[in-house]
Structure 1
Amino acid sequence: MSATPFVIERTYSVSADQVWKAITDKNRMKEWYFDLSEFKPEIGFEFSFEAGPEDKKYVHLCRITEAIPGKKLAYSWKYQGYPGDSKVIFELFSEGSSDTKLRLTHEGIETFPNDNPVFARENFQAGWTELIGTQLKNFLEKKGA
């Protein structure tokens, strides 16, 4: 089992401010991420959501650990009723005059139960690739995102 964090980077043809709003505004987040009842990019803010296969939803428990507007957002990520604790980090980098690179790092995946295939590294890789590589990209490229 690898202790190597999962990292994905994508560059979008929008400003860092637009990407920041997409990853921190709950009304924008529901368009590409998850529909959260509340979200504030403030250290200590806790949020949760359900996600997973249709036959079994998992409650994700998260707490903001770092928030630097326009640059970095980090939060803990665990599952209700399961051991393990991980961390998700979004970092934004301006690329030239109009592009923004997003680097997402998910650390601690190996702390989740390895006897449950839902927690397999490949599932996190597939999920984040879909969210960051497809969903967020499509959202940001829509008019008015």
Structure 2
Amino acid sequence: MNTPIIVQYKINAPMINVWKALTDKEEMKLWYFDIPDFEPEVGKEFNFYEPGGENQFHHQCEILDIVPERKLKHTWSYPDFSPLKTIVTWELFPEEDGETLVKLTHEGIENFKELGGGFSGVNFTGGWNTIIGQSLKAYVENK
């Protein structure tokens, strides 16, 4: 059975601030990845490498859907290792207290099972928890 990874965090900031952090490439490089070719437009591809300058893992993504201030959906792939892709969906939900619930769903991780443990669901879950629960949360809440 193919079970998506779902990671959710409440962030003490309005949705507009979280959305800007997710879609402005200048802000993204402060908490996420440096993605110089990112354009928040359906059909646009963007590419990046992990931080640290090692350039081991070329990430390639294509934006599939955007609902401003609500949803960003894109593919996620490693073209140097596999032709297969996964789907990442970022969703934002307003909370009554002015906070924002960030929900990330990563589907299709089983497509990477042949690539080894570094591409496992456990590894991705840990990575997304760090990216959202620590990096994004700290960045947006301390702006």
With the length of structure 1 as denominator, give the TM-score of the two structures. 0.91
- 1:49 is aligned to 48
Task: Flag the 1:118–1:109 CA change in 2: closer, same or farther, 3 A.
Answer: same
Structure 2 length-normalised TM: 0.92
Cα deviation for residue 118 of structure 1 reads 1.4
Deviation of the 1:13 alpha carbon: 1.1
Tell me the residue number matched to 1:15: 14
Shift, 1:97, TM fit: 4.4
Residues in 2 aligned to 1:49 and 1:136: alpha-carbon distance in whole angstroms: 18
Distance 1:42 1:54, change over 3 A: closer
Report sequence identity in percent.
39
The residue that corresponds to 1:123 in the other structure is: 123
Aligned to 1:95: 95
CA contact (8 A) 1:51 1:57 kept: yes
Aligned-pair CA distance for 1:113: 3.6
Checking the alignment, whether the CA contact within 8 Å between 1:114 and 1:120 is kept in structure 2 is no
Runs of 4+ in 1 over 3 A off after TM superposition: 52-56
Q: CA RMSD in A?
A: 1.8
Bigger drift between 110-119 and 53-62 goes to: 53-62
Equivalent pairs counted in the alignment come to 142
Is it true that 1:78 corresponds to 2:77 in the alignment?
Answer: yes
What's the offset of the Cα at 1:21? Answer: 0.2
In structure 2, C-alpha distance between the alignment counterparts of 1:70 and 1:115, rounded to whole Å: 34
SS in 1 for 2:49: strand
Tell whether the 8 Å contact from 1:82 to 1:112 is kept in structure 2 after alignment.
no
Q: Does the CA contact (< 8 Å) of 1:87 and 1:106 recur in 2?
A: yes
| 2: CA distance, partners of 1:115 / 1:48 | 19
Give unmatched runs, 5+ long, in structure 1.
none
* Corresponding residue number in structure 2 for 1:24: 23
- Letter matched to residue 47 of structure 2: S
Q: Distance in 2 between matches of 1:53 and 1:120?
A: 21
How far does residue 82 in structure 1 lie from its aligned partner after superposition? 2.4
